[in-house]
Amino acid sequence: MGADAPESAEETFTSQIIRVQPSLQRLVADDIYLGAIYDMEYHRILETEPGKQLAQKTILGSEGGVISGLGLYAIWDSRDNIFSASSGKNSLLEWRCYGGLFGSDFDFSHFLLDARQFLPVSTSSVFAIQMYLSMHTGRPPSQYLSRIGGDKRLRGYYEGRYIDMQLWEAQCEYLFPFWWRFGMVAFVSAGQVAPEPGKFQLHGIKSAIGAGLRFKYDEKERIFIRLDAGVAEGQVNFYLTINEAF
């Protein structure tokens, strides 16, 4: 936890999760959607490392529990393709509230902004950028804290390498054709976690760079299989999945 968390702070645990997330949205104007979402998760911690923080119950959420809340969101989506956009915007603004009113064991709120822009460079190459904010108030359990890493943002860090109450991230990537159905991608990203919005500092910024290979297995729908290699803090992580990172 925190932007300065050392590798030695890593803990291994096993959990069981049941998740329900029904949502409802409506098109209210050209490319504009408004919606509501109910979010419920049941967490049960099955196994922890003896003597560490989860085992000592010093971390909020280390005993599991119910996380339940209601949210509202707005989406602006003008992409030309939902799987692999070459032009347009895709932005999400969302606020969720969790608490005893909804049967939750934890009281907190979560604000999320995910803004993406896709700029065609040529008929077959695209420059894409993303800005991502995840902010909390109240006392969220560790399972719901903002986290750096994964196969979509700050590739190169494993998901949850750094977690805290607040997070900002930015990334950009350039996709260009290579041969036949194959394409290549270069990307760079940066981000940071902090306990409060006013405590983001330059020395806490994390960065990653990488490259990837794309194979278009569905030309009509523009669906890709992607293989990315991300480099962060001297380590390389590989990601093999379907569809673009953002």
**Residue 70: per-residue pLDDT:** 98
pLDDT digits (tens, 9 = 90+) for 18-47: 999 999 999 999 999 999 999 999 999 999
How large is the average pLDDT for residues 162-176? 97
Which stretch of DSSP H or E encloses residue 27? strand 23-29
Residue 210's nearest CA partner among 160, 169, 153, 168 is: 153
Q: What is the reported pTM?
A: 0.93
Buried b vs exposed e over 20-42: b needs ≥16 C-beta within 10 Å? eeeeeeeeeeeeeeebebebbbe
Q: Say how many Å lie between the first and final Cα of the chain, rounded.
A: 26
Q: How far apart are CA 94 and CA 134, in angstroms?
A: 10
Out of 4-8, 21-25, 132-136, 236-240, least confident range = 4-8
Instruction: Give the pLDDT confidence of 68-95 residue by residue, as tens digits.
Output: 999 999 999 999 999 999 999 999 999 9
pLDDT of 123 > 90? The answer is no
Cβ pair 113, 130 in contact under 8 A: no
Output the average pLDDT for the chain: 96
pLDDT tens digit string along 187-217?
999 999 999 999 999 888 999 999 999 999 9
| pLDDT value of residue 244 | 94
Q: For the chain, which domains are there?
A: 7-242 (2.40.160.50)
